[in-house]
Structure 1
Amino acid sequence: MTAAAFLFLTAWKTSPKLEAKIKSAIERAYTLTEWEQSTIAVTIPMESPLDFSNDRLFAIKKDGNLVGYGYLGEANSMKRTFDYLVLFNPDLSVRKSKVLIYREEHGRQIGSQRWLKQFIGLTPGTSLTYGSDIDAISGATISAKSMTVAMDQVLAAMAELEQKGIFKAQ
């Protein structure tokens, strides 16, 4: 991991376990061993309920060239929360979504790539409805609904940020 990536990840004050999972997800999704990350500061008013503080939105670059974007989020499960990562292509289509840390006994099925692949290729502004656009999961209803709502919010926020010109300077 490059120094820039290390400094960026520690700015989140995340656990070493979460940092390792973020690093691994980026390496696998983009087939990279070295990259730089830069925070995308969101200082404009947003309608989104998502948390854009603590460097959660970032650009991923290799040798100064844009490779993609990432958003680190947190969503509710039945009694606790789980951490997820959404990785985007430079055109802002979803490259990969991943549940990084799931803290419940039940509902872990939302972390399966078989279920998460439904989000690949979605673009900003796409609206999602659990059970209609996104398949339901028996035994993980609350978490699957929550992940669907989170992805819907991420896509809406990315559309708003794109409309406001946030990604043009990258």
Structure 2
Amino acid sequence: MKIRMSVVVLLVVTFTLTSFTNHSKKIEKKVNKEITNYFGTEEFSTEAIKISEANNSTVKSEFGKDNLLKIISIDGLLGYAYIGNAPSKTATFDYLVIFDKKFSIVKSKVLIYREEYGGEIGSKRWLKQFIGKSMDDQINFPGDIDAISGATISVRSMTKALDTLLRSIKTLHLNEVI
């Protein structure tokens, strides 16, 4: 009986880890595709920027889970990327922000949207509003960002997530962490 229970536990743990790994691989593949498309090269690598616990406690964005990356080519630094997760009405969505060398947003992309409604926040036209925003900008909804009928919760969430990200980047920059 103990052996059966051990086998069942092992199978459950294996299944859980495998499904998580596949999800991470799916996001990683989408991130690499977006970086390739934006910078026009497949010849790059990413390097996770580690943020210490002490520095992570001074910001509101979640860093330190290999989600803040340097994008490097043979010629040097291309820019940075951040992979985040934000709440929608009943689930969450994953998004990517690509920055230039000075941490100005050059591209944002909704990678995985898990709701039936509100997916319009993934449109290039709507996401274009964030391009050019930097750590010196504050992003507000309503105000700076257009509404989308039927996607108000996701619009607020994405806007708040990017505003928080920019503020966190500024704090890390001022503390000479990045």
TM-score of Structure 1 vs Structure 2, range by shorter chain: 0.7 to 0.9
* Secondary structure of 1:83's aligned partner: strand
Report which of the two structures shows the higher radius of gyration computed on alpha carbons: 2
Counterpart CA distance in 2 for 1:137 and 1:131 is 11
**Structure 1 vs Structure 2 CA RMSD:** 1.4
Letter aligned with residue 60 of structure 1: I
Q: Does residue 28 of structure 1 match 2:28? A: no
Partner of 1:42: 51
* Secondary structure of 1:97's aligned partner: strand
Pick closer, same or farther for the CA change 1:64–1:161 going to 2, 3 Å: farther
Q: Is the 8 A contact 2:43 2:74 kept in 1?
A: no
Partner of 1:162: 173
| Structure 2 stretches lacking a partner, 5+ long | 1-19
Partner of 1:18: 27
Q: Is the 8 A contact 2:44 2:72 kept in 1?
A: yes
* Secondary structure of 1:15's aligned partner: helix
TM alignment of 1:101-116, pairs within 5 A: 101-116=112-127
Counterpart CA distance in 2 for 1:101 and 1:148 is 17
* Secondary structure of 2:89's aligned partner: coil
Letter aligned with residue 126 of structure 1: D
Residues 32-85 of structure 1: per-residue CA shift (max 9 Å, x gap)? 112111111111333322211221111000015000001110000000000001
* Secondary structure of 2:35's aligned partner: helix
**How many residues are matched?**
156
Counterpart CA distance in 1 for 2:165 and 2:84 is 9
Counterpart CA distance in 2 for 1:53 and 1:90 is 20
Partner of 2:144: 133
Counterpart CA distance in 2 for 1:106 and 1:141 is 10
Counterpart CA distance in 2 for 1:81 and 1:48 is 21
Shift of 1:17: 2.0
In proportion to residue count, which structure has more helix? 2
Shift of 1:144: 0.6
| Structure 1 stretches lacking a partner, 5+ long | 1-11
Counterpart CA distance in 2 for 1:60 and 1:114 is 25
TM-score of the pair, normalised by structure 2: 0.83
Q: Is the 8 A contact 1:125 1:158 kept in 2?
A: no
Q: Is the 8 A contact 2:84 2:94 kept in 1?
A: yes
Partner of 1:120: 131
